[in-house]
Amino acid sequence: MAKEIECKYLVDVKKLPLDTLKKVRYSYQMYISNDPEKVVRVVIIIPASDKSDSILEAQPDVSKAKAKLTIKSSRQGNTRDEYEYDIPLKDALNIWRSRMTKNIIRKIRTCDKRTGWDVDFNMQPNLGLVLAEKEYDSEEELKAAKVPEWAVLDVSDDDNFYNVNLSQCDKTFEKISNDIEYNSIIWGYKKEMNVDVYDGIFSVKKWCSAFDDLPYNIPNAPKEKETTSDICVAEPEKKKDKDEKLFKLKFKIFGYKFKFSISRKSK
């Protein structure tokens, strides 16, 4: 059993050093259960073609797409139990196509190489919301951690900022945006500000298109077997052509049988 110990902060995009954001990946999270006591989600991840590329130049690589199943317990402070397993990408895509849930999160996740903090640029329906989080090995380590200057407001205790709640409806984000303190950070008193930043640092359309095309071009998918019978019928062996006999003689002398023949070898 793993423990997830993390903090979550609202990001001031104006202060964020974009060139330090590496390990870019697209994350599509589907919540099968949004019960706070037992959150269950399936995640499809499309990484960048080169993890060393910054968010300014990263390109999606669907050939490296993968999927995970995650189960999380309720939080006790900043800590909760977490179980995570790799699952076949094909299964995750089938869950997505089956519309088992409408509770989803779309985001571009990056990692600040200087601090090790993850930075999430949310897509629709939460476009404009940029959050940062960091996991630690213990509560003590979390309390002693240094927070980057661009992580401006601790929202770890505000359930509205957790993905499972942001996935349920756009009203959660609307509620966040209408809060005066949150609004000034998210939008900078100009609603288009973060959206412009999105367009400037990566092509949202390109990353979303990569995901939309994924179900029709699954990487490393096993080829369908040809429809054949499981029963193999062996062809009967052809009898060897007998030699052409030119002369054959049988005779008996004093009770003993003798055979004598002359043949021509068949070709």
Q: Per-residue confidence at 236, pLDDT binned at 50, 70, 90?
A: very low
Q: Which residues pair with 43 in a beta bridge?
A: 29, 68
Q: How many whole angstroms separate alpha carbon 174 and alpha carbon 216?
A: 34
Q: How many whole angstroms separate alpha carbon 135 and alpha carbon 202?
A: 26
Q: How many whole angstroms separate alpha carbon 182 and alpha carbon 126?
A: 14
- Determine contact, residues 44/109, Cβ cutoff 8 Å: no
Nearest to 139 by CA among 84, 82, 83, 80: 80
- pLDDT confidence of residue 139: 81
Q: How many whole angstroms separate alpha carbon 122 and alpha carbon 105?
A: 8
- pLDDT confidence of residue 262: 59
Of 130-139, 186-195, 245-254, the range with the highest mean pLDDT is 130-139
Q: What tokens appear for 196 in the block?
A: 């412009």
DSSP-derived pairing of the beta strands 21-35 and 151-154: unpaired
Q: How many whole angstroms separate alpha carbon 46 and alpha carbon 122?
A: 15
**Number of neighbours of residue 238 by Cβ within 10 angstroms:** 6
Q: What tokens appear for 50 in the block?
A: 């080169």
Domains along the chain with CATH numbers: 2-216 (2.40.320.10)
Q: What tokens appear for 249 in the block?
A: 């003689």
Nearest to 44 by CA among 66, 59, 64, 70: 66
Q: What tokens appear for 160 in the block?
A: 């509205």
Q: Per-residue confidence at 250, pLDDT binned at 50, 70, 90?
A: low
> Does the pTM exceed 0.85?
no
- pLDDT confidence of residue 254: 60
- Per-residue pLDDT of 71-84, as tens digits, reads 988 777 777 788 99
